[in-house]
Amino acid sequence: MRALPILSWCGAQGMMNTAETANFDEMHAPDGSVRAAYRDYDRWLSEQDSGWMRRKSFEAESFFRRTGITFNVYGDGDAEERLIPFDMVPRIVTGTEWRKLSRGIEQRVRALNAFMHDLYHRQEIIRSGRLPERLFRHNKAWLPQMVGFTPPGGVYTHIVGIDLVRTGPEEFLVLEDNARTPSGVSYMLENRETMMAMFPELFARVKVRPVSAYPRWLAKSLAACAPEGASGVPTVAVLTPGLYNSAYFEHAFLADQMGAELVEGSDLRVVGGRVQMRTTQGFQPIDVIYRRVDDEYLDPLTFNPHSVLGVPGIMDVYRAGKVTIANAPGTGVADDKAIYSFMPQIVEFYTGEKPILANVETWRCADADSLKYVLEHLDELVVKEVHGSGGYGMLIGPAASKRELAAFRDKLIARPDNYIAQPTLALSTCPIFTQRGLAPRHVDLRPFVLVSPDGVEITPGGLTRVAMRKGSLVVNSSQGGGTKDSWVLDD
């Protein structure tokens, strides 16, 4: 059999040209030996014919296309539907590494939930001087309608995605917190199903922790958050903006997998003080709504009066304790990248412990000294909008042209409070399959966390996003990134 060659295992080019030699390769040590996590996989891979592997790669793409696993990219014109690139070389984490990560993730998620409660009640963290009041007082994600209200079960962040990056053998850093409507879990599940269908013998040789129970865990966790007075088995529904939303595939997929109703705003109305959905037998009450509609469009009577995506009066029912909305309105404050920069203090304030997982060093451009530093080192840094997402509205200094740097400098000077900056990290790489062999590409990891009054459940692994282009640091699917199956070894 003709094994696959390994290409360019000497670090990335382009955006990472200032730190090539520092890149941590997750599969191979600097001397070319295979790291412990990948040894069983590498032995299996060395036995496979390269032509057969290429055919498998095409097979995976055909499977995703037949299944309809696509997303929409919004530009100047109509939305463009794309296939998310899937790479069939798994990203592998040992059980020991995962146990440490899990402790850090749980600590952070518990702190986020406590922070949300405090921010909408006594604001002790503001009184203590640990967090500047300005960070939320004029923050559009902070909702005065949530002040003094505690969601059913005391849970604000029911589903959380914590974006992690790796920079060394024992070095995992939190890049972002996604506490509003984290997406991507359907791709995590479909990636695993595809891998198991294509390589069943591989899973017989390598013991990998399963992820298939996530929909069942999600349904159970949401049901546990049902409001008091919900009779029998709580009715759960997934509220989607509709077919043309970029994540509609995921909305439909999760509703189907959970056995929940998939509804749009037009399917719901407030009847008798309850949110009810239209059925063939008339309107029936809903206890829990897993909403994938942004706060602004959730209730036209409370927020955007022109919204046709939400439900008129749903906030009144919610504040009366008659329905659970997951995630709670107003949790977008935790997604703010300026708030993120204070997460070490937030974790310590609410848990009394030092953070297990560190943040990436962050300069808040609203601070004069930080802004001065960022402007002086703009060509070395990554600059992001505090409310930005999907890789939009950001500058990667080492890859930017002089014209782009000059334009972004003007933006920073005009609105410094709208930006934070971070160093250009030497992100770890994992191999991807190419037609010429294996080649390293930068990756991140989004574990998915479920929170209910019964506790915290963390899916082993999560979604690995990979920058498919050589040298690129941008892993977002909207910017050309792909995904991988994420393995946590059962050891």
Strands 261-263 and 236-239: parallel
pLDDT attached to residue 70: 57
Give the predicted TM-score (pTM) of the model: 0.90
CA pair distance 396, 19, nearest whole angstrom: 14
CA pair distance 145, 149, nearest whole angstrom: 8
pLDDT attached to residue 58: 86
pLDDT attached to residue 491: 80
- The stretches of 293-367 forming alpha helices (DSSP H) are 314-319, 337-340, 343-351
pLDDT attached to residue 469: 86
pLDDT by residue (tens digit) across 462-483?
999 999 888 777 777 666 789 9
Q: Which CATH architecture has domain 361-423?
A: 2-Layer Sandwich (3.30)
Spell out the domain ranges in the chain. Answer: 1-205+334-358+428-491, 228-322, 361-423
- Tell me how crowded residue 455 is: count the other CB atoms within 10 A of its CB: 10
pLDDT attached to residue 32: 92
If you classify domain 228-322 with CATH, what class do you get? alpha beta
Query: DSSP labels for 153-171?
Result: GG-S-SEEEEEEEEEETTE
Give percent of the chain above pLDDT 90.
76
pLDDT by residue (tens digit) across 33-78?
999 999 999 999 999 998 999 899 888 888 877 776 655 544 444 4
pLDDT attached to residue 10: 34
pLDDT attached to residue 69: 64
pLDDT < 70 positions in the chain: 1-22, 68-82, 388-392, 477-479
Count H helices and E strands in the chain, helices first: 14, 23
**CB contact at 8 A, 225 and 324:** yes
Q: Where are the beta strands (DSSP E) in 258-333?
A: 261-263, 268-271, 274-279, 282-285, 288-291, 324-326
CA pair distance 84, 473, nearest whole angstrom: 17
pLDDT attached to residue 103: 98
The two three-digit tokens of residue 163, written as one number: 């974006």
CA pair distance 90, 5, nearest whole angstrom: 17
CA pair distance 96, 12, nearest whole angstrom: 28
CA pair distance 311, 289, nearest whole angstrom: 11
